[in-house]
Homo-oligomer: A and B are copies of this chain.
């Protein structure tokens, strides 16, 4: 089984540092490299990587949106009340204002996406192991 570790760690954009600032909203280890953080631009752009099994809590982007551009590995995206969507390189996700969702890696693969984000995040409860473990890689 290919865990895509090399693809993710040696991707187009830097892996970045361990994502300590947001660790409390994640289960498992993620990495974050800021690409654009500019007071005159109303979106931020980051490269976010996830070790296998890592995912963020359910959350919302209030008064904004998030766009995810999957670039390597295999991941999941889920909106509340909908089935999880498996993500592969080249996949694009648009998260509308206030839509409750989570994203992360699959159990057995690293995953990396570019995140284009506007608005204020509202962090909610974790994705339970029961919810996550039943997803089929």
Where the two chains meet, the residues of A that have a C-beta atom closer than 8 Å to any C-beta of B are: 12-14, 35-36, 38, 40-43, 45, 65, 67, 69, 71-72, 89-90, 92, 94, 96-97, 114, 116, 118
Minimum distance in angstroms from A55 CB to a CB of chain B: 22
Asked if A45 and B67 sit within 8 Å, CB to CB, the answer is yes
CA–CA, A89 and B92, complex, Å = 20
Minimum distance in angstroms from A81 CB to a CB of chain B: 19
Contact check: which of B36, B65, B67, B97 meets A92 at CB < 8 Å? B36
Number of copies of this chain that the complex holds: 2
Asked if A41 and B12 sit within 8 Å, CB to CB, the answer is no
Asked if B71 and A36 sit within 8 Å, CB to CB, the answer is no
List the B residue with the shortest CB-CB distance to A116. B116
List the B residue with the shortest CB-CB distance to A97. B40
Minimum distance in angstroms from A100 CB to a CB of chain B: 16
Contact status of A71 and B12, CB under 8 A, knowing A35-B92, A36-B92: yes
**New contact pairs (10) apart from A45-B92, A116-B116, CB-CB < 8 Å:** A13-B90, A40-B65, A40-B96, A40-B97, A41-B67, A42-B42, A42-B118, A45-B67, A45-B116, A114-B114
12 A-B contacts (beta carbon < 8 Å): A12-B71, A13-B69, A35-B69, A35-B92, A40-B65, A40-B96, A40-B97, A41-B67, A41-B94, A42-B42, A45-B92, A45-B116
